[in-house]
Amino acid sequence: MLMGRSPFKIRYTEKRIDENSNKVLTKERIEVRFALEHRQYLPAKRPRNNQSYKPIMLKIQSFFNLITELRVSKHNIDKTYWIIEVTSLNKLNLLFNI
């Protein structure tokens, strides 16, 4: 179950044509993206108990057959997150065939 903000990003690009040359400047397209973002460490009451979420994020990344490194995003000064983004339609279908 996915909670919080929607992990799906949808972008629509309108077709644009140069009026003088009739050349296509941008193609019309719709892009769908699945983005999973999770903090890097389980918050702990004691610093030595910090556990990384990297192993589970790597398993999720493997499920989608992604070969890139896990991306990292930093929020504020002290919050760092792992990010997995899926854009391939074939890989996105894995979400719906579970």
Give me the tens of pLDDT residue by residue for the chain, a chain 98 residues long: 455 556 778 889 999 999 999 999 999 988 888 888 888 887 666 566 667 889 999 999 998 888 888 999 888 777 888 999 888 888 888 877 76
Taking the mean position of all CA atoms in its chain, how far away is CA 24?
30
pLDDT at 1: 44
Radius of gyration of the chain (CA): 19
Q: 5 vs 19, 34, 37, 40, 71, CA distance in Å?
A: 40, 12, 10, 18, 19
Q: How far apart are CA 18 and CA 23, in angstroms?
A: 5
Q: How far apart are CA 11 and CA 65, in angstroms?
A: 23
* Predicted model pTM: 0.66
Q: How far apart are CA 33 and CA 53, in angstroms?
A: 22
DSSP, collapsed to helix, strand or coil, labels residue 28 as coil
Q: Which of 44, 50, 39 is CA-nearest to residue 79?
A: 39
